[in-house]
Amino acid sequence: MENIIKLIVNKSDNETRVDLFVKKRKKELSRTRIKNLILNENLKINNKIVKNPSKKVSIGDKINFEIPEPKKISLKPYDYKLDIIYEDEDLIVINKLSGISMHPSVGNYDNTIVNALMNYDNKKLSNISGELRPGIVHRIDKDTSGLIIIAKNNFSHENLSNQFAKHSITRVYQALIWGKLRPQNGKIETLITRSSKNRQMMAVGISKGKKAITKYKTLEIFENEKIPTLSLIECRLETGRTHQIRVHMSYKGNNILGDKKYKKKYKKIKNIDQSLEKCILKLDRQFLHAHVLGFSHPKTGKYLEFSSNLPKNLNNILKKLRNTNK
């Protein structure tokens, strides 16, 4: 059964965007969900369907906002051992391995984190992100490892989504990049939009796109005649755009090691340590890891923070770099 929210615009809300107007009246709903419902023709102004979230409302406008019943989830369970760091009745924190996608999509409907959650406990997941994304509040790329949050009910999902929208969630990544950043510590602030050359990639936009802010800090620099110049960095996200760190590092000319999409051509060094070169060439993922994740618990309000160490294959590269850097 659909839930219909009926609202009337008063003087103080005149000329407000309709998505912001609904958000103001229904704070428990995330702005992303409101926007998607509007795009799917679930909002009427004075009995006329409106599909534009940015449309301005006027005094006296009658708003009917329909929240449809979530579709039943019918996904194939995937027998995959999840690395669960924390769990309670409202959420799960998982340490995701590289090589597994977050949710089903074209070409892979079965072997994803969502399918693994179906196998783990399919009755305790939020269902407001669509039938292919139960529990999914945010995402990290297939070939990125590290910490993610899963919502076990709709209240937690909305609350966590709002925290992401307000950029109040702590997200710290570690990455190994080519070269050295200049300055070594700083902030990258750009627009990010879909690439005009490849629709599967993102790019820094000049006049269009969404604001993206990455704070970075250089942790170690590896540089001598036996190794290519590489830097271990920490990136703290103030926003969470698609491929944000990967795009920002590419924009700076310091692509992430192993990134096949935003790649830098590997230049062979004459005297390179052979075991190190073998590790670099065999790396089947980008050297990017979601290291720290912190947020306020949706029910208690208590701040929780979790950390995850680098996976063994990434740590082995660092060990070899440190040994040859002596």
Distance CA 294, CA 311 (A): 20
pLDDT in tens, 146-205: 999 999 999 999 999 999 989 999 999 999 999 999 999 999 999 999 998 898 899 999
Residue 106 has pLDDT above 80, yes or no: no
CA contacts within 13 A on the Cβ side of 117: 32
Mapping DSSP to helix (H, G, I), strand (E, B) and coil, where does residue 60 land? coil
Task: Give residue 15's pLDDT band: very low, low, confident or very high (50, 70, 90).
Answer: very high
pLDDT in tens, 22-70: 999 988 888 888 998 999 899 999 999 999 999 999 999 999 999 887 6
For 101-110, 279-288, 298-307, 312-321, which range has the lowest pLDDT when averaged over its residues?
Answer: 101-110
Catalytic residues: 141
**Sequence-ordered list of residues with C-beta below 8 angstroms from that of 141, at least 6 positions apart, any chain:** 243, 246, 286, 288
Q: Could you write out the DSSP letters of every residue in 90-123?
A: SEEEEEEPTT-BSS-BTTBSSSBHHHHHHHHHTT
Point out the domain boundary residue: 165, 184, 207: 165
CA 89 to chain centre: 23
Distance CA 81, CA 102 (A): 14
Residue 259 has pLDDT above 90, yes or no: yes
**Sequence-ordered list of residues with C-beta below 8 angstroms from that of 233, at least 6 positions apart, any chain:** 174, 175, 176, 177, 181, 216, 217, 218, 219
Burial class (CB in 10 A: 0-12, 13-18, 19+), 197: exposed
Q: How many domains does the chain have?
A: 3
Distance CA 28, CA 256 (A): 38
Task: Give residue 246's pLDDT band: very low, low, confident or very high (50, 70, 90).
Answer: very high
Asked whether residue 79 is assigned to any structural domain, the reply reads no
Average pLDDT over residues 263-276: 73
CB atoms closer than 10 angstroms to residue 322: 12
**CATH number, residue 197:** 3.30.2350.10
Looking at the structure, tell me whether residues 186 and 307 fall in a common domain: yes
Of 129 and 323, the structure prediction assigns the larger pLDDT to: 323
Residue 281 has pLDDT above 80, yes or no: yes
Task: Give residue 1's pLDDT band: very low, low, confident or very high (50, 70, 90).
Answer: very low
Structural domain including 206 reads: 170-324
* pLDDT recorded at residue 68: 82
Angle at 188 between CA 218 and CA 307, to 5 degrees: 50
Looking at the structure, tell me whether residues 104 and 221 fall in a common domain: no
Task: Give residue 71's pLDDT band: very low, low, confident or very high (50, 70, 90).
Answer: low
Residue 73 has pLDDT above 70, yes or no: no
**CATH number, residue 32:** 3.10.290.10
